[in-house]
Amino acid sequence: MNRILVKEETLDASYLPSRLVRRERELDLTSRRFREALGKGLPYHLLLTGGVGSGKTALARRLGQDLERGGRLAGFPVKTAYVNCWRRASDRTVMLDLLRSVHVSLPDRGYSLSEMLDVFEQGIRRNPQHLVIELDEASSLVRQETKLVYLLSRAQEVGLGSISLILIAVEDLFPFLDPASRSSFGVTHRLSLAPYDRAALADILASRAELALRPGSVDRDVIDQIARIAEANGDARFALELLAGAAHAAEDDGASAIASEHVRRAKGSLLPTVSETQLDALSTNELGVLLSLSRTLKGRGSSTTSQKLRANHTTLLEELKAPAMSRTTFWRTLKELERDGLVSLEAGESGESSKVAMDELPASYLTTLLEERLGRGRASKR
């Protein structure tokens, strides 16, 4: 079989690509600030926020690696300690992880936080370094009135390097910090990552596809389709999951390349967004337009033009022996479908013919569902 996923692990959320597209500016800025401070022997603290899949973890880990590889600053090597705090939301459990990062291990009980900090300092004393501590998913830790943030952001290891702190979370943690810690996270110490837009998602997908997929197995139209679907949340993780899912669907089909239909199938299995109840709520006009759309799309591309759709819809009405539909009604119906989240519309260049897309379900499946419903409607009218 012709494999499409030749290096699947590079699509995994835990894989850190050597180059982060579309975050060059943020990486540059933070890297400069850290190097500047550490070069003076001072720590630098950062509060990094942004939505799910906005690249917070990737940015922090890329930054950490780049700093480590950048060589000594003010005479000390840079080391990063990354801790995901999601499941270890207490100062003591996070501290145990940090101890391991300076190669000290303590039994999980019997030590107070300050005793642990003493041992931590001893660990650093043995290996003087700039330590950059990354506390990922730090919301619950900080909301629990952590003392660790205060203690670590105040640690001044004079002559032993410095301890810097990067707090990473979906929400802005500043309001939850104690007043003393807040002074470490002033405005130049906060970076909020905007959600990725469609173009950025497409670039990210293309760069990761290049790593993971056989050359020529995915074309730009499919990349754009996935980017369009993921755009609603600007979530790169979801976009990459979709790409992986679509690649699997294509392989299962024995296809040599990913088609739009595979993307819809992957999306359907990731989040079944269209329920049959939702279809039950549609008017006959909507069902008809949607059916001609899914027939138009079946096996052919991710979107079509409103002109082509209208022509196919007219044919469908003739086939159903239903009265023709005026242009205005056709447009109103399309708008209704858009409002229901079933199709997406995009103004075309001339303004006359718009792009119409349906990403919710595999077109073949939707066609079956709709034909069934329209058939039932006709039967009951008789």
Ligand X SMILES: Nc1ncnc2c1ncn2[C@@H]1O[C@H](COP(=O)(O)OP(=O)(O)O)[C@@H](O)[C@H]1O
Contacts to Mg ion by CB under 5 A: 57
Q: Which helix (H) or strand (E) holds 161?
A: none
Q: Which is nearer to ligand X, 20 or 274 (CB)?
A: 20
Provide the sign of the torsion angle of the four alpha carbons 286, 289, 294, 295, taken in this order: positive
Beta-carbon contacts of 227 under 8 Å, excluding residues fewer than 6 positions away, are: 198, 199, 201, 202, 205, 239
Q: Which is nearer to Mg ion, 30 or 57 (CB)?
A: 57
Exposure string of 235-251, with b = 16+ CB inside 10 Å and e = fewer, is bbbbbbbbbbbbbbbbb
Residue 99's binding partner among Mg ion, ligand X, none (Cβ under 5 to 8 angstroms by kind) is none
Tokens 């300690």: give the residue.
81
Report how many residues bind ligand X under the rule CB under 6 A: 20
Query: Does 62 contact ligand X by CB under 6 A?
Result: no
Residue 23's binding partner among Mg ion, ligand X, none (Cβ under 5 to 8 angstroms by kind) is ligand X
Q: Which helix (H) or strand (E) holds 4?
A: none
Say which DSSP state 382 is in.
Answer: -
Residues 193-222, mask of contacts with ligand X (x by CB under 6 A): -----------x--xx--------------
Query: Does 21 contact ligand X by CB under 6 A?
Result: yes
Q: CA dist 282 to 5, 199, 294, 297, 373, Å?
A: 39, 32, 15, 20, 10
Q: Which is nearer to ligand X, 208 or 310 (CB)?
A: 208
- Please name every residue paired with 303 in a beta bridge, in sequence order, or none if there are none: 357
Which residues in 235-264 contact ligand X (CB under 6 A)?
236-237, 240
Query: Does 53 contact ligand X by CB under 6 A?
Result: yes
Strands (E), 137-261: 163-169, 190-193
Query: Does 64 contact ligand X by CB under 6 A?
Result: no
**Among 8, 10, 22, 113, interactor with ligand X by CB under 6 A:** 22
| Smallest separation, CB 170 to Mg ion (Å) | 8
Query: In this structure, what are the phi and psi dihedrals at residue 326, rounded to the nearest 5 degrees?
Result: -70, 160
The number of angstroms, rounded, from the C-alpha of 306 to the middle of its chain's C-alpha atoms is: 31
Q: Which is nearer to ligand X, 76 or 238 (CB)?
A: 238
Say which DSSP state 41 is in.
Answer: T
| Smallest separation, CB 239 to ligand X (Å) | 7
Q: Which is nearer to ligand X, 222 or 334 (CB)?
A: 222
Which residues in 220-239 contact ligand X (CB under 6 A)?
236-237
Q: Which is nearer to ligand X, 206 or 322 (CB)?
A: 206
Q: CA dist 321 to 289, 304, 316, 317, 334, Å?
A: 15, 25, 8, 6, 21
Q: Which residues bind ligand X (CB under 6 A)?
A: 13, 17, 20-23, 50, 52-58, 204, 207-208, 236-237, 240
